[in-house]
Amino acid sequence: MNIIVSGASRGIGKELSLQASKAGHNVLALARTAGRLSDLAAESKLITPVVIDLMEGNVAEVVDNWVEVVGKVDILINNAGQLLNKPFVETSVTEFRDQFDANVITAVKLSQAVVANMNRGAHIINVTSMGGFQGSSKYPGLSAYSSSKGALSVLTECLAEEFKEYGIAVNALALGAVQTEMLESAFPGYAAPVSASEMATYIIDFSLKGHKYYNGQILPVAIGNP
């Protein structure tokens, strides 16, 4: 399988890239941090690391170049994102916009760049959050983050319909708390019940099999709420 992972330099994205490559899959690992991506490449020859800002870089060119080498894409995991913990009244419009750029627009740009290069039967997974899952408990300080993840969930439903003609399934996994650097930075000292490695194992398995049973679904992946 040929798999693209965004936000691959740390946390869940790093584990996704490592586990997929160890299972024998080709991985295009995208992130903004060069040093950490180099470390990934040293782990496996099946990982192609590319340093790119998904908001500013030529995503389509990166995808096209990789596809020329390995063939068409089977799985896209839109994992890149940011987490801002700040009271609503103190959050600037610019900070809101930054959260939507990081958590929604990056997935838009990457999906647009990849869809023409995907095989029929391919699967796009949008990594969203229980914070953006309708009906879940909401928490102070996460208005920008949660609303952006909610938007990504609705985008998932829209793309599932649009991509049916291409034979591509699109689903979202609404994750609960996972122990990552991003979570630690936003909530210092908080201990999540699931490690990045454990969650990556679940996501990889779902990416390979889930499209046989689901399309356009927003699936909670959480022990509790969140």
Instruction: Based on the residue annotation, tell me whether 145 is a catalytic residue of this protein.
Output: yes
Q: In what helix (H) or strand (E) does residue 122 lie, and over which residues does it extend? A: strand 118-129
User: Any idea where the domains of the chain sit in the sequence?
Assistant: 2-218
* Predicted local distance difference test score (pLDDT) of residue 34: 75
Q: Is the pLDDT of residue 177 over 80?
A: no
CATH T-level topology, domain 2-218: Rossmann fold (3.40.50)
Let me know how long the chain is. 226
- Name the pLDDT band for 183 (thresholds 50, 70, 90): low
- Name the pLDDT band for 188 (thresholds 50, 70, 90): confident
* Predicted local distance difference test score (pLDDT) of residue 137: 78
* Predicted local distance difference test score (pLDDT) of residue 153: 97
CA distance 34 to 11: 15
C-beta contacts of 16-20 below 8 A and 24+ residues apart: 16/77, 16/79, 16/200, 16/203, 16/204, 17/47, 18/43, 18/44, 18/47, 18/200, 19/197, 19/200, 19/201, 19/204, 20/204
pLDDT in tens, 209-219: 999 999 999 99
CA distance 168 to 6: 19
- CA angle (107, 34, 37) in 5-degree steps: 75
Which residues, 6+ apart, have CB-to-CB distance to 214 below 8 Å? 169, 171
- Name the pLDDT band for 97 (thresholds 50, 70, 90): very high
Q: Which amino acid is at 14?
A: K
**CA nearest 85: which of 142, 139, 149, 137?**
142
The residue ranking higher by pLDDT, 128 or 40, is 128
> What average pLDDT does the chain have?
92
**CA nearest 206: which of 178, 157, 169?**
169
Residue whose structure tokens are 């839109």: 78
Q: What is the mean pLDDT of residues 23-30?
A: 97
* Predicted local distance difference test score (pLDDT) of residue 33: 81
pLDDT in tens, 115-153: 999 999 999 999 999 888 887 778 889 999 999 999 999
Share of the chain above pLDDT 70, in %: 94
CA distance 167 to 82: 30
* Predicted local distance difference test score (pLDDT) of residue 186: 58
Catalytic one of 139, 145, 190, 214: 145
